[in-house]
Amino acid sequence: MAILTERDRAAVTTELAKMAGPVKLVVFSTQLGASEYCVETERLVREVAECSDQVTVEILNLHIDKERAEAYGVDRVPAIVVEGARDYGIRFFGIPVGYEFTNLIDAIIVASSGTPSLGAETLERLADLKERVHIQVFSTPT
Amino acid sequence: MRLAHHLAVASEWIRGDCVEATEFPDLAQRYMVMAVPKTVVNDRVSFEGAVPEAQFVDAVLRAVNGTGDDR
């Protein structure tokens, strides 16, 4: 059964029409120990990709594709890497539903252009950054 | 969450993870997630709730400048 309703698909299609370039959604999943969350995440991501020709999907296995997982810094599943012209460092861990689904769509759009919606002051303050920053934002399904 | 991803796009040094807390109770426990959204930067600086952009950037810079350790 589809996760997205027809209405959801229409809304996602409209949003993704704003994309400025191609985006690849790399999903890390696993058959072992696994969670229905992995199955659902794969399904959700495929349904999103059906809404735009600019979105492609690659499904990887955390245990088999170890080198890729390491390169992406992914150590748990389900995980989604939202990759545009380069890997910007956008990750989702866990199935992005509810409010996080909106964030997934937003992440796809920003990755498609590589142009963040941030104030000039923010960009200026980040310009001198020369150290790795790992931001983790915890949420719950709503 | 949106901000973390936009900051990641803005700087090659930043990575932004959106973590579903109920699916990863080990992480939720490790970072003492009692309310969401909870943001943790470099395991050092954390805050709860949605904050304005400038305040979010403050937290990011505090985490790298070594001036913050509020976990």
Q: Residue B52: is the preceding peptide bond cis (ω within 30°)?
A: no
Q: What is the pLDDT of residue A86?
A: 97
Instruction: Determine the residue type at A103.
Output: N
Task: Please check whether residue A37 lies inside any domain of the structure.
Answer: yes
The reported pTM is: 0.95
Could you give the C-alpha distances from A130 to A5, A48, A95, A100, A133, in angstroms and in order?
A: 44, 35, 32, 29, 9
Interface test with B, best of A135, A139, A140 (most B CBs within 10 A): A135
Q: Is B48 on the interface with A (CB under 8 A)?
A: no
Task: Please check whether residue A66 lies inside any domain of the structure.
Answer: yes
Give the whole-angstrom CA distance, residue A59 versus residue A24.
10
Q: Which residue of B has its CA nearest to A95?
A: B20
Structure tokens at A33: 């120990």
Domain enclosing residue A87, as ranges? 6-126
Task: Please check whether residue A54 lies inside any domain of the structure.
Answer: yes
Question: Are A42 and A135 within 8 A, CB to CB?
Answer: no
pLDDT digits over A49-85, tens only? 999 999 999 999 999 999 999 999 999 999 999 999 9
More confident residue, A106 or A32: A106
Q: Is A140–B41 a contact, with Cβ atoms under 8 angstroms apart?
A: no
Domain enclosing residue B10, as ranges? 2-65
Report which of A99, A105, A98 is spatially closest to residue A90, judged by C-alpha positions.
A105
| Number of Cα atoms under 13 Å in the Cβ half of residue A86 | 10
Task: Please check whether residue A15 lies inside any domain of the structure.
Answer: yes
Q: Is A93–B23 a contact, with Cβ atoms under 8 angstroms apart?
A: yes
Q: Is A135–B19 a contact, with Cβ atoms under 8 angstroms apart?
A: no
Question: Are A121 and B61 within 8 A, CB to CB?
Answer: no
> How much of chain A exceeds pLDDT 90, in percent?
90
| Average pLDDT for A132-140 | 97
Q: Is B9 on the interface with A (CB under 8 A)?
A: yes
The total of structural domains in chain B comes to 1
Q: Is A138–B60 a contact, with Cβ atoms under 8 angstroms apart?
A: no
Q: Classify residue A142 by burial, with Cβ atoms within 10 Å: 0-12, 13-18, 19+.
A: exposed
Query: What CATH number does residue B20 fall under?
Result: 3.40.30.10
Q: Pairing state of beta strands A79-83 and A23-29?
A: antiparallel
Task: Please check whether residue B70 lies inside any domain of the structure.
Answer: no
Minimal Cβ distance to B11: which of A103, A126, A140: A126
Instruction: Determine the residue type at A18.
Output: K
Structure tokens at A52: 């735009």
Whole-number average pLDDT of chain A: 95
Which SS3 state, helix, strand or coil, does residue B19 take? strand
A11 pLDDT exceeds 60? Answer: yes
Q: CA B34 from chain center: how many Å?
A: 14
| Average pLDDT for B16-22 | 97
Q: What is the pLDDT of residue B1?
A: 77
Task: Please check whether residue B34 lies inside any domain of the structure.
Answer: yes
Local confidence band at B67 (pLDDT 50, 70, 90 cut-offs): low
Please report residues of A whose CB lies closer than 8 A to that of B1: 100, 103, 137, 139
Q: What is the pLDDT of residue A26?
A: 98
Q: Which residue of A has its CA nearest to B63?
A: A133
Q: What is the pLDDT of residue A36?
A: 86
Task: Please check whether residue B20 lies inside any domain of the structure.
Answer: yes
The CB density around residue A96, as the number of other CB atoms within 10 Å, is 25
Task: Please check whether residue A64 lies inside any domain of the structure.
Answer: yes
Structure tokens at A97: 């539903």
Q: CA B32 from chain center: how many Å?
A: 13
